[in-house]
Amino acid sequence: MRVPEKMDPRAAAARYYDLSPEFPADIPFYLDRLPSAASRVLELGCGTGRVTVPLANASARLHGVDHSEAMVDICRRKLAANRVGPDRAQVTVADIAALQLDTQFDFIIAPFRVMQNLGSDAQVAALFHGIREHLAVGGRCILNVFRPNLDPVALSDQWCSSEETLEWEAPVEGGRIARWVRRTRLEAGPLVLYPDLIYRKYAGDRLVDETVLSVPMRCWYPKELLTKIHAEGFVVTETWGGYGGELYGEGPELVVEFTRHD
């Protein structure tokens, strides 16, 4: 059953998502950490399939989940275009904080800061419950968030602004896409930022389309993230500060690998 667009807030922006130049060079990272070619992989927040397709080609079986049907539709088309059949990969519309699959996986990932879209403590607890239920004994999970470059007080003081900031532009057939960001709201305890991502399509200098995507971005600090993972009963096996060899707590990202405590 198709999800109505009003129930899929990412529907209008999905067609512009892959144009972003902001994606990290994380695909080799995940491929290198795939346990084996026989691995069963669960990708939380698979989106349009940026990581899904190469990982599906390298593993025995991949299941991707995302709450946006528009994103999942694009992901399915990419899998088909790359001749990755349903015997190798399946993507479904689902809430990563309410997973109920009948399979356990050797490798679970949530690339490009997917975890940060869960703003409440209840959602985060549900995410870890789902990971615990779906991670095979001896399996590994990797979560990633960005590392805030300001402490919570300074970030709260400086976040909100009435101005829009241009983040990037990309050429498309018949014109260009520009993405702007507007930072007008945050919540404290936990600290959650709410940027409005504004996609504008231009034909020359004429605006022909505008789409606004509002997303929650929960802030996690290095020690806080590790403490949470330990508190949920997992064992941290490795940490990184990014995908270029940065130390944890010093690079632009917080990347943590962990396993079940059995």
> Over the stretch 191-233, which tens digit does the pLDDT of each residue have?
999 999 999 999 999 999 999 999 999 999 999 999 999 999 9
Please check the confidence at residue 34 and state whether its pLDDT lies above 70: yes
Mean pLDDT of all residues in 127-151: 98
Please check the confidence at residue 179 and state whether its pLDDT lies above 90: yes
Ordered structural domains, the chain, with CATH: 5-148+220-260 (3.40.50.150), 152-218 (2.20.130)
User: pLDDT above 90 covers what percent of the chain?
Assistant: 95
- Over the range 44-56, which residues count as b (16 or more CB within 10 Å of their CB) and which as e? bbbbbbbbbbbbb
Please check the confidence at residue 2 and state whether its pLDDT lies above 60: no
Q: How many CB atoms lie within 10 A of CB 58?
A: 16
User: Given this model, what pLDDT does residue 151 score?
Assistant: 97
User: Given this model, what pLDDT does residue 112 score?
Assistant: 96
Please check the confidence at residue 4 and state whether its pLDDT lies above 60: no
Q: Are 37 and 59 in contact (CB under 8 A)?
A: yes
* Mean pLDDT score of the chain: 95
User: Given this model, what pLDDT does residue 6 score?
Assistant: 53
Please check the confidence at residue 190 and state whether its pLDDT lies above 90: yes
Structure-block tokens of residue 222:
């290095």
Please check the confidence at residue 13 and state whether its pLDDT lies above 90: yes
User: Given this model, what pLDDT does residue 11 score?
Assistant: 94
User: pLDDT above 70 covers what percent of the chain?
Assistant: 98
Q: Are 75 and 45 in contact (CB under 8 A)?
A: no
Mean pLDDT of all residues in 61-85: 97
**Cis amide prior to 252 (ω within 30 degrees):** no
User: Given this model, what pLDDT does residue 5 score?
Assistant: 46
Distance CA 262, CA 255 (A): 22
Q: How confident is the model at residue 21 (pLDDT cuts 50, 70, 90)?
A: very high
